[in-house]
Amino acid sequence: MCLAPGAPCVTVGSEPGPGGGLLVVSALAGELEPALGDLGRRGAALALEGPGRLWRFERAPGRAPVVAGWTGMGRAATERGLAAAFAAGPAGVVPEAVLHVGVAGALQGGLAPGDLVVCREVVGPAGEAGDALRPEVPPRLAAWLDGLVGRGGHAGGRVVRGRTVTVDAVVSSPAAKAALATATGADVAEMECRWAVAAAAAAGVPIVCVRAVVDALGQPLPDLSAGLDAVGRPRPLSLLGRLARRPGDVRHLPALARAFGAAQRALREAVRGALAGWEA
């Protein structure tokens, strides 16, 4: 099942593999960590090369376990983490499908912090039509996804299907966001969807990418990456040094914290709904 006509569709098999289960993954720890308590009893871990971590979560008797965790930011970490999950069958589970969740910046008006964007297609920064990839929706998640989008909203905001653009760095200013929207026609900017969709396709695993908006189109987003580790956790001394060099960014932090909290709640709700749909 593809979400958008006209772009190459990433078509993969949908039959469960041995011990097949759902892989729920993010780039940053903070994107998924609040939802881990909803997944079941945390069991064996798969230590990935680099900062990423995946765990096996035991579900109710008779239900396949779930594997969940984070890979780290950007292309290399995403490809490395997903390749390990697909090749190793973390903790005895061969992923049958992937739910890739994370945060994004809005490139279109009308999107607010906490809104969810389901990736219909993903492009690179140049936005060429032939560059677009469309994820193939796992059949077991199709009904949940149709219901989520059909309702048009969730407890914390809107839900839309849209185009994402995968970039290499934070798009900070409203002017840069507007220029990227014009170049690509994308609804949101993020840093991993393209690489996640391509990695899943190479492994023959269907995937859904869901992004929660953190910064609205007109909201400046300070680039704090120099003060964060590879999975988005603060490095206090580096963060203080970053803010000392750009003290004007401090005024944006309270709004950013509130927006990130709204995005976390939206992603937690999406993960809960996806699990219910997966096990229905």
In a domain, 8, yes or no: no
212 contact partners, CB below 8 Å, separation of at least 6 = 31, 101, 102, 103, 104, 114, 115, 116, 117, 262, 263, 264, 266, 267, 270
Confidence at residue 129, expressed as pLDDT on a 0 to 100 scale: 62
In a domain, 42, yes or no: yes
In a domain, 70, yes or no: yes
Confidence at residue 7, expressed as pLDDT on a 0 to 100 scale: 46
Residue 136's domain is classified under what CATH number? 3.40.50.1580
* List of long-range contacts for 45-50, beta carbons under 8 Å, 24+ apart: 45/91, 46/84, 46/85, 46/88, 46/90, 46/91, 48/80, 48/81, 48/84, 49/80, 49/84, 50/77, 50/80, 50/81, 50/230
Q: Which residues span the domain enclosing 229? A: 21-278
Here the tokens at position 215 are 């910064």
pLDDT (tens, 9 = 90+) of the chain, 280 residues, equals 444 444 444 333 333 333 468 999 999 999 999 999 999 988 877 767 778 889 889 888 878 789 999 999 999 999 999 988 887 655 567 789 999 999 999 999 999 999 999 999 999 887 666 689 999 999 999 999 999 999 888 888 999 999 999 999 999 899 999 999 999 999 999 999 999 999 999 999 999 999 999 999 999 888 878 777 778 787 778 778 887 888 887 888 888 899 999 999 999 999 999 999 999 8
In a domain, 10, yes or no: no
In a domain, 194, yes or no: yes
Confidence at residue 17, expressed as pLDDT on a 0 to 100 scale: 36
In a domain, 11, yes or no: no
In a domain, 2, yes or no: no
Single out the residue of 73, 278, 83, 117 nearest to residue 209, CA to CA: 117
Q: What is the number of structural domains in the chain?
A: 1
In a domain, 132, yes or no: yes
